[in-house]
Structure 1
């Protein structure tokens, strides 16, 4: 039985994300099943449904129908997001561990990227992320892989004054 979650008021993407989390549990659906329904990667799908990416009209309609949400959610899911956080450090322990790990290992990661690739950054736009479980005798391990295109800093040096002087 599909339970409908009404959007009597206009939801923000963040509020709709909370409604989606509730509807997913009510419907007994996994994030992977929702991602499969729209043919997208599970990590990308979860981020999108929590407000970090826009969905196409078709994908939004599929998700809304699957979760039993009010049709008004289709438009909200298509809205361009304000990506990232509000600038505060997350208090949720799972999210905070990433902040903590990057605070400790971020400078080392930066140095190793620069040593291997040169002066540049890892793209968070041309990017994939995966989360996997790896069995371990001391307790299962969480394996998170960031897979981003390397973007080199292309310093363009134009010398308009030098060109003028050569004339």
Structure 2
């Protein structure tokens, strides 16, 4: 995690705020807001200013939030159990998802740019469920 993210997380925790509360204050999705605070998306100026006002962060944080990120992550197998499960899901079901998506849409990909994602909690008497919904525009490969 980078210094910017650490600064934001410390401020978030000192204010005893949740990512949901921060996202609600910014009128943005929880996933996008969290991702931007962790350095994986840039914030428009108005959202960066609103976040910095909310968390009482300085102008250097506001400016850094607006920069275009270099999206880099560890390329090794993750060791955090929750993150590893997503890695495992893609390892087990990645080829299946590719086959089903391409059968339904043709040769192409799901955009991670024209994209949104939601995380919901579904209460269940057998144990609460995590519901992750990913919604991305289909981008067809073109022939030339």
Flag whether TM exceeds 0.5 (same fold).
Answer: yes
What TM-score comes out, normalization by structure 2 length?
0.93
**C-alpha deviations, 1:56-79, integer Å up to 9, x for none?**
222112111211222211111111
Residue 146, structure 1, aligned to residue 127, structure 2: no
Cα 1:18–1:89 shift into 2, 3 Å: farther
SS at match of 2:8: helix
SS at match of 1:138: coil
Q: Distance in 2 between matches of 1:147 and 1:84?
A: 22
2:102 corresponds to: 114
2:20 corresponds to: 32
* Equivalence map 1:148-163=2 (5 Å): 148-156=136-144
Residue 68, structure 1, aligned to residue 56, structure 2: yes
Q: Which of 47, 50, 59 pairs up with 2:35?
A: 47
- Give the RMSD, CA atoms, in angstroms: 1.4
Residue 101, structure 1, aligned to residue 89, structure 2: yes
User: How many residues are treated as equivalent by the alignment?
Assistant: 144
2:122 corresponds to: 134
Q: Distance in 2 between matches of 1:86 and 1:80?
A: 19
Rg larger in structure: 1
